[in-house]
Amino acid sequence: MKPKFIVFSDYICPFCFFALKRIEKLKTEYDIEVEWKNYEIHPDIPKDGAPKSFLRENYMKTVEGNIRPLAKLEGLEIKPNSFISNSHIALEASEFARGKGVFDSFHRRVFEAYFLECRNIGDKSVILGIAQELGLDTDELSFALDKHRYHERLEEVRREKASYGVLGTPTFIMDRTKLVGLQSYEILRRLINSATRR
């Protein structure tokens, strides 16, 4: 049986983007299964987004100070955003993509759109544009988003988050081990190696 990571993640979390890059690298080295859980960390952000000060200026300065060296380490050019998107529509759309078998590609492109291209992923037209890039039926997705067909799935993840005792993103879970926050590549490797020896 393949080692399996469960990862709680949100698209407005930069450390989740770095987690994705590390998971992608791990998948080139190990035969692992990964289940991404779409967890909306700030549902209070207005639908149209908000200035960064919405999440406390000192907090955002600390986050941005941590992002720069991590981005350099991952070879990413993170562009500073003047706003924070509401991620709900992007998370719902990624559940649609999961059902169509293109979750991984969609997942990556939403992160890239937000952190590398400074696009507002709370804007339905941006999400539909990403879907179109990947060959998804944008009319079907638009209808699903208008009807909030995947809202209940996000609520299920919220309940799962409580049952796992998840306090933030990213959170990595493998078997009975839970690692909160972005983990180094070596720590994730050790967790996989430990699981395969059992």
137-167: pLDDT as tens digits:
999 999 999 999 999 999 999 999 999 999 8
User: Do residues 26 and 32 lie in contact, with contact meaning Cβ atoms separated by under 8 Å?
Assistant: yes
Q: Which CATH superfamily is domain 4-197 in?
A: Glutaredoxin (3.40.30.10)
Please enumerate in sequence order all residues whose Cβ is within 8 A of that of 27, keeping only pairs 6 or more positions apart, or say none: 34
Nearest Cα to Cα of residue 84 among 119, 112, 131, 59:
119
172/164 Cα distance (integer angstroms)? 11
Which tens digit of pLDDT belongs to each residue from 85-103?
Answer: 999 999 999 999 999 999 9
